């Protein structure tokens, strides 16, 4: 399955989750629930994946953690914030680069309708 096909399924599951429980919960609740739903759909999902910083020959375990990594291809960052800002886009792009992945999603559950501005796609050399 391609990154785009995977992201389509992730977005569908996130929208269904949001329709069911609505906004107002903690990020960890949405992360665990979305992880559960994606696993039910047959996806390999890892949570809180360590993402080291590597510079030349130096490797630092800096505490960066990817919220979710689906099928070892798509980075998913879960938010519960007023609005997705440039800093969140930059953070996710950094994770994509550090983890050598091509597609990331930021899903902000703190919105009345998830598909209206609650989902952002970030690409890193995706063809």
At 13-38, the pLDDT tens digits run 999 999 999 999 999 999 999 999 99
Asked if 7 and 105 count as a contact pair (C-beta separation under 8 A), the reply is yes
Tokens of 106: 């930021």
Cα–Cα distance measured from residue 74 to residue 37, given in angstroms and rounded to the nearest whole number: 16
Is 36 in a helix, a strand, or coil? helix
pLDDT above 90 coverage of the chain, percent: 83
pLDDT of residue 60: 83
pLDDT of residue 96: 95
Q: What average pLDDT does the structure give for the chain?
A: 94
């Amino acid at each position: 399955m391609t990154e785009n096909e995977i992201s389509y399924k992730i977005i569908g599951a996130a929208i269904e989750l949001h329709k069911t429980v609505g906004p107002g919960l903690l990020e960890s609740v949405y992360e665990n629930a979305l992880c559960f739903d994606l696993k039910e759909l047959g996806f390999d999902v890892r949570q809180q994946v360590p993402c080291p910083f590597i510079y030349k020959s130096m490797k630092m375990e800096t505490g960066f953690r990817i919220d979710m990594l689906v099928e070892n291809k798509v980075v998913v960052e879960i938010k519960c914030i007023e609005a997705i800002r440039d800093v969140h886009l930059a953070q996710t792009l950094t994770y994509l680069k550090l983890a050598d992945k091509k597609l990331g999603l930021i899903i902000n559950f703190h919105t009345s309708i998830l598909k209206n501005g609650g989902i952002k796609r970030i690409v890193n050399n995706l063809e």
